[in-house]
Structure 1
Amino acid sequence: MPEVEIRFPADQVCSGSFRLLELPPDLCRLIESSVDDPSLMIKGGPEDDAVLCTSDKTYNIRSVTLSNSVLVVSPVPHIDGGEDQVIIQDSLNELLELVPAVPKLHRMNVMLQEHEWEEGYEEEDEDESLEGIFKAKRKRFTLEDAQIELQASEQEIAQALKEKHMLIIDGALRPLSPTYLHKILELLLMHLVSLSQLHDAASVLELSRSLEYEHEVRREVTLQVMRWFGEVDVADERWKMDVEKVVRQVGLGILCQHKTDPISEDEFIAKWNTAVGDTFASHTSLKLLTGNYLCAPSPFSTSTKLSYFPCAELPTDPAMRFADLFLTRERWKAEEIVPYLSDIAVDTKDLDKLLLKYARALTDKEGLWFTARAR
């Protein structure tokens, strides 16, 4: 085993100049196999816990104290007849560990809560006063802003913008109002029939033109909605509608009106079938709406009552999420609570850890239940 002589530097070295980072296997493989330099970015403001983002994943950065110090040394030129020598550059007592994390996107809702795009906003650009221009500039929040501000990878942000129905209007992000989205989808379904269009090869031009001229829906809004709910072939200008996504969203548009006023399951299904039309009525199923509603028996009929309870409106902090869930219901069946936790867990293993930490499992003749863990 070779021996080296360790020397302290003549000048005082600033402690903390180096950090030791342990790479998880998947990230190590990415770096080793990448032809181009992989995109790695550390994100976080002064009040945030920093995260590391690749192009498609987010990792929490966790500090682990080492039992032994690790020396960072640099070699010095050989001295004739002497031993090899190294100079200490730093002494490390901690290791930075990367742990897979869910993207931190909750800040986007706060930043854009006053930017919602409603029906009738097609004419909103009329305010050309100097005050109006400065106000608009001050409120603009772009995709580039989102990529800087949000602690998430580019792919996770892009997916979130699609799932949260964020329009890009004149370069600015604008969340589309759920009621207006519901109307646009119903109009698309109606015009598919009136224009005799196939849902898997519909003309983008004809549909967008009809919505613009007959219902004053901006063409760029219609096109973005089509991309959220299907695939747009740019070359052929054809839209392949994702039937399940459209049917699901139409169902949510009806269900969201019953947050405090429950609706019977039979009545809801009837309204849902009518809204999507005979062509797609066979696709309606409550399974599509899992994680967005609660069931309760009706005291006056055999039909179950449904109320709107969306996972997306619950806190992202795990402790607060469980507190809200157990305030809503004292106990949950396993299959009912899991959909309300999937967005705050990286995988099933992480989900099991959350349940073990914040809930207590009980088993009876009806199956597995979860209740709040006693403090």
Structure 2
Amino acid sequence: MPDSDLHFSPASAEEAASYKLVELPKELVSLLETAVQNSEPFNLAIKGDPTEDAVLCTNDKTYSIRAVNLSNTLLVVTPPPDTAHDFSDEVVVIRDQVNEILELTPTVPRIQKLVSLLRGREYDETNEDDDEAADPQETLRYTYRQAREEIQASDAELDECLRRKRILNIHNELRPIAPTYLNNVLQLTLNVLVSLSLSHSAASVDRLTGELQREHEVPRVVSLQVLGWFGELSKAGMWKMNVDEVLSELGLGILRDHKQNNPIEKEVFMDKWRDAVGDTFADRVELRLIAGNYLERSSGITDKDTLSYFPASDLPTEPAARFSDLFLTRPRWKVEEISPFLSEIAVDNKERDKLLLKYCRAVNEAGVVWYTARAQYNG
């Protein structure tokens, strides 16, 4: 290895602390190497305003960023700049000193900010005549472009969030669809399938959206997005319905009226749900379709189970606060009961199990494992 003379950069004062070292996980290294080999663009974006912990986003994943101190100082060195004539070829220039690296860890997208920003902007049947884009000077609008820049999520995760949270993109303005209106559109869609003798696994998109607009005044810009949320739109112009997704949303439409202070008998709810989906799909109605959205309680007096609306999406996003709310609601849970309420804060089952270990105590009773609260919660 040739010897080199070390010199500090003439601009060392200005360049101090301007370099950061990021340790890439194996999957990011693989993506980067593939992009270089194929001469393809490789996009990384750091997102977060000054009040937020920054995250790094690829096209489809989000990573939290954590600074880890190094036991030894690393020097960032480069060849002399082309404009520097006072250095020989054997010189390298010290540009900065690094005492930490940035560690990347997969994390769930942070979309609660989006939900808060769109609160009060619901779209329902009163907006059906709004076929022209609103004047941005007349109303406060939050656009898809703004969401891509400001929300701490990859583009793919943001699009999935819009689908899962039922957020419409109307003339580039993001607006959550009102649950009652969404249920009405789905009910009308099922009715149109029957009236036009269309198959739910291969229905013409043009005929469906045209009938919904002509006979029921549902704008195509709305019906197209709803069909995309609840099925597959093919390039050939056909729609294949995701039956479970449609049944789930219709079931939640009934259950939303029955919060904890107004529970509904389980069998009564199931009968109403079957009636809502019609004879074609009645035998596919199961409680698993609405997991993470309800509480089930047994009554020792009437011997009849009741259900109440309890959506995971209304719980805090911070793990400690979420577990606190869960155990205030119910003192102990089985793993299959509590798991659906953790999917939004855990990237996978391994992360979920870590959270259970951190915030819960497992108790085995007659072969059944129950999770109870630990004495204290630490953030």
TM-score between both structures, scaled by the size of structure 1: 0.92
- 1:12–1:153 distance in 2 versus 1, CA, 3 Å: closer
- Matches of 1:10 and 1:299, distance apart in 2: 81
| 215-224 or 1-10, larger mean C-alpha shift | 1-10
**Quick check: 1:100 aligned with 2:106?**
yes
Identity of aligned residues (%): 49
Superposed CA deviations along residues 46-103 of structure 1, whole A, max 9, x for unmatched, are 11111110000001111001110001122359xxxx9943222111111111111110
- Matches of 1:265 and 1:53, distance apart in 2: 43
| 196-205 or 308-317, larger mean C-alpha shift | 196-205
Deviation at 1:303, TM superposition (A): 3.0
Superposed CA deviations along residues 105-146 of structure 1, whole A, max 9, x for unmatched, are 001111111210012221357999xxx87332xx11111111
- 1:15–1:126 distance in 2 versus 1, CA, 3 Å: closer
- Matches of 2:299 and 2:341, distance apart in 1: 23
How do 1:79-118 residues align onto structure 2 when only pairs under 5 Å count?
Answer: 84-118=90-124
1:167 maps to amino acid: L
- Matches of 2:157 and 2:361, distance apart in 1: 32
- The SS at the match of 2:308 is strand
Aligned to 2:127: 121
Aligned to 1:6: 6
| 325-334 or 199-208, larger mean C-alpha shift | 199-208
- The SS at the match of 2:218 is coil
- Matches of 1:349 and 1:234, distance apart in 2: 37
How do 1:203-352 residues align onto structure 2 when only pairs under 5 Å count?
Answer: 203-235=204-236, 237-259=237-259, 260-352=261-353
- Does the 8 Å contact 1:5/1:83 carry over to 2? no
* RMSD value, Cα: 2.2
Deviation at 1:309, TM superposition (A): 0.6
- 1:71–1:369 distance in 2 versus 1, CA, 3 Å: same
**Which stretches in structure 1 are left out of the alignment for 5+ residues?**
none
**Quick check: 1:166 aligned with 2:167?**
yes
**Quick check: 1:45 aligned with 2:46?**
no
**Quick check: 1:142 aligned with 2:148?**
no
- 1:197–1:126 distance in 2 versus 1, CA, 3 Å: closer
1:135 maps to amino acid: E
- Matches of 1:240 and 1:127, distance apart in 2: 30
Aligned length: 366
- Matches of 1:330 and 1:243, distance apart in 2: 35
- Matches of 1:255 and 1:133, distance apart in 2: 37
1:31 maps to amino acid: L
- The SS at the match of 2:344 is helix
- The SS at the match of 2:138 is helix
- 1:69–1:373 distance in 2 versus 1, CA, 3 Å: same
**Which stretches in structure 2 are left out of the alignment for 5+ residues?**
83-87
- Matches of 2:138 and 2:168, distance apart in 1: 19
1:119 maps to amino acid: E
- The SS at the match of 1:49 is coil
TM-score between both structures, scaled by the size of structure 2: 0.91
Deviation at 1:198, TM superposition (A): 0.9
How do 1:157-196 residues align onto structure 2 when only pairs under 5 Å count?
Answer: 157-196=158-197
1:241 maps to amino acid: M
- Does the 8 Å contact 1:3/1:83 carry over to 2? no
**Quick check: 1:75 aligned with 2:79?**
yes
- Matches of 1:275 and 1:241, distance apart in 2: 16
